[in-house]
Amino acid sequence: MGDEIILTREGYEKLKQELEHLKTAGRAHSAERIRRARAQGDLSENFEYHEAKRAQAMLEGRIRELQRILEIAQVVEHLPGEDGVVTVGSVVTVEDLEHGEEWTFRVVDTASAAVFGADEEYEHVSAASPIGQAIVGRKVGDIVQVETPGGTVDYEILSVHT
């Protein structure tokens, strides 16, 4: 994970809620699983115990990850597409200038991609991806070049909205 994380206010709040849930209900559930597994006896061959400890380690890893994200995240306060500029959260339509194909997607950051999970209307593109890096901060009418595994692609930004 890079050092710069940009979140919408909604994304930031969702991650805060997830962190609080994991620290309370998640830890309580994990401790109960371990307690029940220990009650079964010999821990050296106790699959439930080892599985519960593995799940606990994953839970604690996610808690640390969320704490780090929330500590360093830059929250985008203005609405995506406000003043026609592409930001995290914007729905963008671009045209591949070589093939004349249009593509509409929502720009998300890697940390909050799950926040927009219910948004099935649009494909999600990370702001950290090559196209995301090329279009964030740009506006309608701009033409950007994106390095892809298949070569350089020129896109024109056709629309930006929420």
Average pLDDT of every residue of the chain: 85
Token digits of residue 31: 């401790």
Report pTM: 0.60
Question: What CA–CA distance (Å, rounded) separates 74 from 149?
Answer: 30
End-to-end CA distance of the chain: 26
Q: Is the pLDDT of residue 139 over 70?
A: yes
* Average pLDDT estimate for 9-14: 80
142 vs 109, more confident: 142
Domain 6-76 has CATH 1.10.287.180: yes
* Average pLDDT estimate for 67-84: 74
Q: Give the pLDDT score at 6.
A: 73
Question: What CA–CA distance (Å, rounded) separates 91 from 132?
Answer: 12
E strand intervals along the chain: 6-8, 74-76, 91-96, 101-108, 123-126, 143-148, 151-161
* Average pLDDT estimate for 92-118: 80
* Average pLDDT estimate for 71-99: 80
* Average pLDDT estimate for 127-152: 91
pLDDT in tens, 106-121: 888 766 555 555 556 7
Q: Give the pLDDT score at 115.
A: 54
Query: Domain residues of the chain, as ranges?
Result: 6-76, 82-161
E strand intervals along 38-129: 74-76, 91-96, 101-108, 123-126
CATH class of 82-161: alpha beta
pLDDT band at 1 (very low <50, low <70, confident <90, very high): very low
pLDDT in tens, 46-65: 889 999 999 999 999 999 99
